[in-house]
Amino acid sequence: MDDTELRQLVADVLSGDTEKFEHIVREYQKSIFLYCYHMLGDYAEAEDCAQEVFLKAYRNLEKYNRDIPFGAWLYKISYNQCIDLIRKRKLAKYLPFFYRDEKENKEVDLQIEANYFDEFVHQAMSRLSAEERNLIILRCVEGKSYQEISLIFHQSSANLRKKYERTAAKFRKYYLQAKGADGVGQGPGFERTFS
Protein backbone atom coordinates (compact mmCIF):
# COMPACT_ATOMS: atom_id res chain seq x y z
CA MET A 1 0.00 0.00 0.00
CA ASP A 2 1.50 3.33 -1.02
CA ASP A 3 1.40 6.63 0.86
CA THR A 4 -1.43 8.04 -1.29
CA GLU A 5 -3.66 5.07 -0.43
CA LEU A 6 -2.80 5.44 3.25
CA ARG A 7 -3.61 9.14 3.22
CA GLN A 8 -6.98 8.34 1.64
CA LEU A 9 -7.71 5.68 4.25
CA VAL A 10 -6.86 8.15 7.03
CA ALA A 11 -9.13 10.75 5.43
CA ASP A 12 -11.94 8.18 5.13
CA VAL A 13 -11.60 7.15 8.78
CA LEU A 14 -11.56 10.78 9.92
CA SER A 15 -14.69 11.50 7.91
CA GLY A 16 -16.58 8.71 9.68
CA ASP A 17 -15.83 5.48 7.79
CA THR A 18 -14.16 3.90 10.83
CA GLU A 19 -14.21 0.40 9.34
CA LYS A 20 -11.43 1.48 6.93
CA PHE A 21 -9.02 1.61 9.88
CA GLU A 22 -8.97 -2.19 9.66
CA HIS A 23 -7.04 -1.85 6.35
CA ILE A 24 -4.39 0.20 8.12
CA VAL A 25 -4.13 -2.38 10.90
CA ARG A 26 -3.74 -5.23 8.39
CA GLU A 27 -1.02 -3.30 6.54
CA TYR A 28 1.12 -2.69 9.65
CA GLN A 29 0.07 -5.41 12.11
CA LYS A 30 2.94 -7.83 11.52
CA SER A 31 5.72 -5.26 11.34
CA ILE A 32 4.52 -3.42 14.46
CA PHE A 33 4.21 -6.69 16.40
CA LEU A 34 7.73 -7.78 15.37
CA TYR A 35 9.11 -4.35 16.26
CA CYS A 36 7.48 -4.56 19.72
CA TYR A 37 8.74 -8.12 20.16
CA HIS A 38 12.31 -7.08 19.41
CA MET A 39 12.06 -4.13 21.78
CA LEU A 40 10.42 -6.08 24.62
CA GLY A 41 11.64 -9.66 24.06
CA ASP A 42 8.31 -11.10 25.24
CA TYR A 43 5.57 -12.48 22.97
CA ALA A 44 2.58 -11.67 25.19
CA GLU A 45 3.82 -8.16 25.96
CA ALA A 46 4.49 -7.54 22.27
CA GLU A 47 0.94 -8.61 21.36
CA ASP A 48 -0.56 -6.32 23.99
CA CYS A 49 1.76 -3.49 23.03
CA ALA A 50 0.92 -3.74 19.33
CA GLN A 51 -2.80 -3.66 20.12
CA GLU A 52 -2.31 -0.60 22.28
CA VAL A 53 -0.32 1.08 19.47
CA PHE A 54 -3.24 0.69 17.08
CA LEU A 55 -5.72 1.90 19.69
CA LYS A 56 -3.61 5.01 20.32
CA ALA A 57 -3.21 5.60 16.60
CA TYR A 58 -6.96 5.36 16.10
CA ARG A 59 -7.74 7.66 19.03
CA ASN A 60 -5.18 10.23 17.88
CA LEU A 61 -5.66 9.97 14.13
CA GLU A 62 -6.78 13.59 13.89
CA LYS A 63 -3.35 14.61 15.29
CA TYR A 64 -1.48 12.79 12.51
CA ASN A 65 0.67 15.24 10.54
CA ARG A 66 0.26 14.33 6.88
CA ASP A 67 3.64 15.85 6.06
CA ILE A 68 5.38 12.77 7.45
CA PRO A 69 4.88 9.16 6.32
CA PHE A 70 2.14 7.34 8.22
CA GLY A 71 4.52 4.47 9.03
CA ALA A 72 6.98 6.83 10.73
CA TRP A 73 4.17 8.18 12.89
CA LEU A 74 3.07 4.65 13.80
CA TYR A 75 6.63 3.58 14.71
CA LYS A 76 6.98 6.64 16.93
CA ILE A 77 3.83 5.58 18.81
CA SER A 78 5.25 2.03 19.01
CA TYR A 79 8.55 3.26 20.39
CA ASN A 80 6.84 5.35 23.08
CA GLN A 81 4.55 2.46 24.03
CA CYS A 82 7.52 0.08 24.34
CA ILE A 83 9.44 2.58 26.47
CA ASP A 84 6.41 2.91 28.78
CA LEU A 85 6.30 -0.89 29.18
CA ILE A 86 10.05 -1.06 29.86
CA ARG A 87 9.64 1.59 32.58
CA LYS A 88 6.79 -0.43 34.11
CA ARG A 89 9.06 -3.49 34.12
CA LYS A 90 11.61 -1.57 36.17
CA LEU A 91 8.87 -0.74 38.66
CA ALA A 92 7.85 -4.40 38.73
CA LYS A 93 11.28 -5.33 40.06
CA TYR A 94 10.75 -3.17 43.11
CA LEU A 95 7.02 -3.42 43.77
CA PRO A 96 5.83 -6.92 44.69
CA PHE A 97 2.21 -6.33 43.64
CA PHE A 98 3.40 -5.82 40.06
CA TYR A 99 4.92 -9.31 40.08
CA ARG A 100 4.58 -11.10 36.75
CA ASP A 101 5.16 -14.82 36.25
CA GLU A 102 8.23 -15.17 34.02
CA LYS A 103 7.16 -18.64 32.86
CA GLU A 104 3.97 -17.30 31.28
CA ASN A 105 4.01 -17.94 27.52
CA LYS A 106 7.56 -19.29 27.81
CA GLU A 107 6.89 -22.07 25.29
CA VAL A 108 5.70 -19.57 22.66
CA ASP A 109 8.63 -17.22 23.42
CA LEU A 110 11.11 -20.05 22.99
CA GLN A 111 9.53 -21.12 19.70
CA ILE A 112 9.75 -17.58 18.30
CA GLU A 113 13.29 -17.10 19.54
CA ALA A 114 14.36 -20.43 18.04
CA ASN A 115 13.00 -19.46 14.63
CA TYR A 116 13.52 -15.73 14.58
CA PHE A 117 15.87 -14.42 17.23
CA ASP A 118 18.81 -16.47 18.41
CA GLU A 119 20.02 -16.53 22.01
CA PHE A 120 23.25 -14.62 21.38
CA VAL A 121 21.45 -11.85 19.51
CA HIS A 122 18.94 -11.62 22.36
CA GLN A 123 21.71 -11.39 24.98
CA ALA A 124 23.55 -8.71 23.01
CA MET A 125 20.35 -6.71 22.41
CA SER A 126 19.44 -6.83 26.10
CA ARG A 127 22.71 -5.04 26.95
CA LEU A 128 21.85 -2.09 24.68
CA SER A 129 19.76 0.84 25.84
CA ALA A 130 16.16 1.08 24.62
CA GLU A 131 17.16 3.84 22.19
CA GLU A 132 20.04 1.74 20.84
CA ARG A 133 17.77 -1.31 20.43
CA ASN A 134 15.25 0.88 18.66
CA LEU A 135 17.88 2.11 16.22
CA ILE A 136 19.19 -1.42 15.51
CA ILE A 137 15.67 -2.80 15.03
CA LEU A 138 14.50 -0.02 12.76
CA ARG A 139 17.67 -0.11 10.64
CA CYS A 140 18.44 -3.85 10.48
CA VAL A 141 15.21 -5.69 11.11
CA GLU A 142 12.69 -3.25 9.67
CA GLY A 143 15.07 -2.03 6.93
CA LYS A 144 14.24 1.64 7.48
CA SER A 145 16.40 4.32 5.86
CA TYR A 146 18.17 6.92 7.99
CA GLN A 147 15.72 9.46 6.58
CA GLU A 148 12.73 7.43 7.80
CA ILE A 149 14.36 6.87 11.20
CA SER A 150 15.08 10.59 11.50
CA LEU A 151 11.32 11.23 11.28
CA ILE A 152 10.74 8.82 14.16
CA PHE A 153 13.62 10.02 16.37
CA HIS A 154 13.37 13.70 15.41
CA GLN A 155 17.13 13.75 14.79
CA SER A 156 19.24 14.40 11.71
CA SER A 157 20.11 11.51 9.40
CA ALA A 158 23.83 12.24 9.80
CA ASN A 159 23.57 12.09 13.60
CA LEU A 160 21.64 8.83 13.41
CA ARG A 161 24.19 7.30 11.04
CA LYS A 162 26.97 8.02 13.60
CA LYS A 163 24.84 6.67 16.45
CA TYR A 164 24.10 3.56 14.41
CA GLU A 165 27.80 2.96 13.73
CA ARG A 166 28.60 3.23 17.46
CA THR A 167 25.61 1.08 18.39
CA ALA A 168 26.47 -1.59 15.81
CA ALA A 169 30.03 -1.72 17.18
CA LYS A 170 28.66 -2.17 20.72
CA PHE A 171 26.27 -4.83 19.49
CA ARG A 172 29.11 -6.74 17.76
CA LYS A 173 31.19 -6.59 20.96
CA TYR A 174 28.29 -7.84 23.12
CA TYR A 175 27.40 -10.50 20.55
CA LEU A 176 30.95 -11.87 20.54
CA GLN A 177 31.04 -11.81 24.34
CA ALA A 178 27.75 -13.75 24.44
CA LYS A 179 29.19 -16.34 22.06
CA GLY A 180 32.45 -16.45 24.00
CA ALA A 181 34.41 -15.66 20.83
CA ASP A 182 37.21 -13.24 19.98
CA GLY A 183 35.96 -12.22 16.55
CA VAL A 184 35.78 -15.60 14.85
CA GLY A 185 32.69 -17.57 14.02
CA GLN A 186 30.33 -14.65 13.95
CA GLY A 187 27.72 -16.65 12.15
CA PRO A 188 26.28 -16.36 8.66
CA GLY A 189 25.02 -12.95 7.71
CA PHE A 190 26.39 -11.29 10.85
CA GLU A 191 28.84 -8.96 9.11
CA ARG A 192 26.34 -8.13 6.38
CA THR A 193 23.65 -7.13 8.86
CA PHE A 194 25.75 -5.01 11.21
CA SER A 195 28.37 -3.46 8.97
Nearest-10 Cα torsion for 144, 83, 65, 28: 50
Let me know if the fold of 1-113 is the same as that of 118-195: no
At the topology level of CATH, where does 118-195 sit?
Arc Repressor Mutant, subunit A (1.10.10)
Which residue would you say has higher pLDDT here, 28 or 188? 28
* CATH number 3.40.462.20 given to 1-113: no
**From 31-40, 93-102, 129-138, the region with the lowest mean pLDDT:** 93-102
Q: Using one digit for the tens of pLDDT, what is the confidence trace for 54-110?
A: 999 999 999 998 888 899 999 999 999 998 888 777 654 443 433 344 444 444 444
What is the structure's pLDDT at 13? Answer: 94
**Structural domain boundaries in the chain:** 1-113, 118-195
- CB-neighbour burial class of residue 169 (10 A; exposed 0-12, middle 13-18, buried 19+): exposed
